[in-house]
């Protein structure tokens, strides 16, 4: 190896990490140059998050060495990692909603710049330097997803990090927000910081990365040059297969209306409208896509349909039944599958084994129950089926779901919600965090079910997915539908414009 002209930001050498029944990392070698964006890619369960947790002191490696800016270190906690210059932003943000930007920023770092004007000045400096657009005195609950993410990045910079780990930061962003984040990352680079960027979206990787490291089955299998590599080559390196794309198929839309909403309005406790006069119909065999910038009512729409909120006015019909006031359990028993937006809060019991998670939300129906009783054997057997059909990588069905990689948790939820032949599927970001191979498999499952008459409400931030799977796309903006589009002719740019209020 040649002698580098400047000291590497990070050198990981021979890193190994074992969990019961799994080798999460072995013989991992990664070199991060200073002032670069370094992408880490690989299929679900390849070991990316584990490696980053090791670099951030959350996990202790069993083997190998970590060298930061020329100095070999042993990191026993995130505090020690931050002292060494490494910060990490997790996918599930760790912010207190009822506190201000400033309060969140200084929490646990009071010694650095105090809690008053010194802190305020430093926050303004960071915000301006990197284009974060953060007002220190705004409550975090007022911030959208993208602003919260910028706050998380600002938080680690405030603590002095020069090496910033972002684990799938763009999974929760729409295209315009991704562009804005990339601008921020360029500024970070320009100031000499290094960014470690994990993503399953290969276009993004090619757009932002200076270096790419590929992981497969726990180890680093190679690097790729973003200047010359193609998406196909990256996909091949990652999953060893061709790159899939969601292809629009022949329409299977029937005349039978499965779900209809008429003038549904939802008002919060202050009398503000979260949803205004929403009407839609989804027929058997039809996929209705909902496009929107996160936070424009799509979560409320889904929760209203799923009986977690009761509309203030308007009517919801499932087939020919008025279900406006039904509870979630009744709706599920009537045959609605539900893939929630937040898999940790609404989709999984993290400490329960996979087979118990199979029962969650399905406890009153076979194969999870038999008469009034939980059918352990039935649930276990069906979990084995889901694990096989959806390629959920896990040591076994007795593994707690917490031990699964993010993408594998998502595959388990999709498999569960597609089981028992639902009549209607309410899917929020069904392929968020899953690798390109698994994404294609999930699309195939949804398409097959659609051919057999499944009606689907698809909320997704992935515009290619929306265009590829939907029969019709509605754009939601500030709780109203502001445009209907035909996926066979619409472009992601058209949708983006409508989503940000640029089209009538």
Ligand X SMILES: Nc1ncnc2c1ncn2[C@@H]1O[C@H](COP(=O)(O)OP(=O)(O)OP(=O)(O)O)[C@@H](O)[C@H]1O
Binding interface with ligand X (CB under 6 A) = 19, 22, 24, 42, 44-50, 393, 403-408
As measured in angstroms, the least distance from the Cβ of 178 to ligand X is 18
Interacting partner of 127 out of Mg ion, ligand X, none (Cβ under 5 to 8 A depending on kind): none
Tell me how far apart the alpha carbons of residues 402 and 286 are, in angstroms, rounded to a whole number. Answer: 34
Stretch that binds Mg ion, among 29-37, 170-178, 401-409, 453-461 (CB under 5 A): 401-409
Strands 321-322 and 313-318: antiparallel
Is 264:279 a contact under the CB 8 Å cutoff? yes
Nearest to ligand X of 17, 450 (CB atom): 17
The least CB distance from residue 402 to ligand X, in Å, is: 6
DSSP 171: G
Q: Which is nearer to ligand X, 45 or 437 (CB)?
A: 45
Residue 460 interacts with which of Mg ion, ligand X, none, CB < 5 to 8 Å by class: none
Nearer to ligand X, 104 or 220 (CB): 220
Whose Cβ is closer to Mg ion: residue 49's or residue 431's? Answer: 49
**Binding at 101: pick from ligand X, Mg ion, none (beta carbon under 5-8 Å per type):** none
CB within 8 A of 201, min separation 6: which ones?
Answer: 170
The answer to whether 9 touches 68, Cβ cutoff 8 Å, is yes
- Residue 44 interface partner, choices ligand X, Mg ion, none, CB cut-off 5-8 Å depending on type: ligand X
Residues 406, 415, 430, 479: which binds Mg ion (CB under 5 A)?
406
Q: Which is nearer to ligand X, 24 or 95 (CB)?
A: 24
Write the binding mask 360 to 399 for Mg ion: x where contact by CB under 5 A, - elsewhere. ----------------------------------------
CA distance 435 to 438: 5
3-state SS, 9-61, equals CEEEEEEEEEECCEEEEEEEEEEECCCCEEEEEECCCCCHHHHHHHHCCCCCC
Q: Which does 149 bind (CB under 5 to 8 A by kind): Mg ion, ligand X, none?
A: none
CB closer to Mg ion out of 406 and 496: 406
Distance from C-alpha of 31 to C-alpha of 27, rounded to nearest angstrom: 13
Chain-centroid distance of CA 320 in Å reads: 35
* Interface map 43-82 toward Mg ion (x if CB under 5 A): ------x---------------------------------
Binding partner of 22, given ligand X, Mg ion, none, CB within 5-8 angstroms per partner class: ligand X
Smallest separation, CB 291 to ligand X (Å) = 25
> CB 47 → ligand X: shortest distance, Å?
4
| Residue 45 contact, options Mg ion, ligand X, none, Cβ 5-8 Å cut-off depending on partner type | ligand X
Which one of Mg ion, ligand X, none is in contact with 403 (Cβ closer than 5 to 8 A by kind)? Answer: ligand X
The two structure tokens encoding residue 368: 């999870």
Are 120 and 113 within 8 A, CB to CB?
A: no
The nearer residue to ligand X, 380 or 432, going by C-beta atoms, is 432
CB count within 10 Å of CB 421 equals: 11
Q: How near is the Cβ of 435 to Mg ion at its closest, in Å?
A: 10
The full DSSP string for 415-441 is HHHHTT--SEEEEESTTTT--HHHHHH
Contact 266, 273 (CB under 8 A): yes
Of 73, 252, 43, 99, nearest to 163 (Cα)?
A: 73
Strand order in the sheet with 336-339: 336-339, 424-428, 455-459, 287-291, 472-477, 480-485
Measuring CA to CA, which residue among 6, 60, 1 is closest to residue 32? Answer: 6
CB of 382 vs ligand X, minimal distance in Å = 21
- Nearest residue to ligand X by CB is 407
The nearer residue to ligand X, 231 or 393, going by C-beta atoms, is 393
């Amino acid at each position: 190896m040649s002698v580098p002209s400047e000291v590497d930001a990070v050198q990981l050498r021979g890193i190994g990490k074992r969990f019961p029944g799994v080798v999460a990392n072995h013989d991992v070698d990664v070199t991060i140059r200073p002032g670069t964006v370094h992408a880490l890619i690989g299929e679900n369960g390849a070991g990316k998050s584990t490696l980053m947790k090791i670099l951030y002191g959350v996990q202790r490696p069993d083997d190998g060495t970590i060298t930061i800016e020329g100095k070999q270190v042993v990191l026993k906690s995130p505090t020690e990692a931050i002292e060494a210059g490494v910060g990490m932003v997790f996918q599930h943000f760790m912010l207190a909603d009822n506190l201000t930007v400033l309060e969140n920023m200084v929490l646990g770092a009071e010694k650095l710049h105090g809690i008053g004007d010194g802190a305020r000045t430093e926050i303004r400096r960071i915000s301006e330097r990197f284009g974060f657009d953060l007002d220190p005195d705004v409550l975090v609950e007022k911030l959208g997803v993208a602003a919260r993410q910028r706050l998380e990045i600002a938080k680690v910079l405030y603590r002095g990090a020069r090496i910033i780990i972002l684990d799938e930061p763009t999974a929760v962003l729409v295209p315009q927000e991704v562009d804005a984040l990339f601008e921020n990352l360029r500024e970070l680079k320009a100031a000499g910081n290094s960014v470690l960027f994990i993503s399953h979206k290969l276009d993004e990787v090619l757009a932002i990365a200076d270096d790419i490291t590929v992981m497969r089955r726990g180890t680093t299998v190679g690097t790729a040059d973003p200047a010359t590599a193609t998406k196909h080559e990256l996909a091949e390196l990652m999953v060893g297969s061709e790159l899939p794309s969601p292809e629009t198929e022949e329409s299977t839309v029937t005349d039978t209306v499965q779900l209809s909403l008429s003038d549904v309005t939802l008002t919060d406790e202050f009398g503000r409208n979260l949803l205004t006069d929403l009407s839609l119909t989804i027929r058997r065999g039809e996929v209705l896509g909902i496009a929107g910038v996160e936070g424009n009512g799509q979560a409320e729409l889904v929760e209203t349909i799923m009986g977690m909120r009761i509309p203030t006015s308007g009517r919801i019909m499932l087939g020919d039944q008025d279900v406006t006031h039904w509870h979630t359990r009744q709706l599920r028993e009537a045959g609605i599958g539900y893939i929630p937006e937040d898999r940790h809060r609404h989709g999984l019991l993290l400490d329960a084994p996979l087979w118990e998670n199979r029962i969650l939300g399905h406890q009153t129906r076979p194969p999870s129950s038999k008469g009034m009783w939980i059918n352990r054997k039935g649930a276990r057997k069906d979990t084995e089926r889901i694990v096989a059909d959806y390629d959920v990588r896990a040591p076994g069905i007795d593994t707690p779901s917490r031990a699964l990689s993010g993408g594998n948790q998502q595959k388990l939820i999709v498999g569960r919600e597609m089981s028992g032949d639902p009549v209607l599927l309410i899917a929020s970001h069904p392929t968020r965090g899953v690798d390109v191979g698994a994404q294609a498999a999930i699309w195939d499952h949804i398409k097959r079910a659609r051919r057999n008459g499944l009606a689907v409400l698809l909320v997704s931030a992935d515009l290619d997915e929306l265009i590829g799977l939907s029969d019709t796309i509605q754009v939601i903006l500030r709780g109203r539908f502001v445009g209907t589009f035909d996926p066979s002719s619409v472009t992601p740019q058209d949708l983006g414009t409508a989503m940000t209020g640029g089209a009538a």
